[in-house]
Amino acid sequence: MCRAAPGQLLHGYEVGWGGPCERGQVGENEARRIAEGALKGLNLLHTRGITHGDVSLRNIMKDRLR
């Protein structure tokens, strides 16, 4: 479920790289970096009046290059 500020439109979608998401453990530094990025993104949404509505580990995307 997506809720946007009045006049804004959001789309939900799934992204993959040709297969299921990679699973496995990450180190402490990598986990910190991922958490920091997710929190910065949520803060940006909140400053614009947007609520995510379904924050969970399954909804955090990570690119291959980082």
Domain parsing of the chain, residue ranges: 24-49
Task: Tell me which residue has tokens 């439109």.
Answer: 9
- CA-CA distance, 5 to 49, in Å (whole number)? 5
Query: Is a pLDDT exceeding 60 seen at residue 21?
Result: no
pLDDT tens digit sequence for 22-57: 556 777 888 888 889 889 989 998 999 888 888 887
pLDDT at 58: 75
Can you tell me whether residue 3 is helix, strand or coil? strand
Report H helices in 12-54. 28-47
Is the entire prediction scored with pTM above 0.85?
A: no
Residues in contact with 11: Cβ distance below 8 Å, sequence separation at least 6, in sequence order: 2
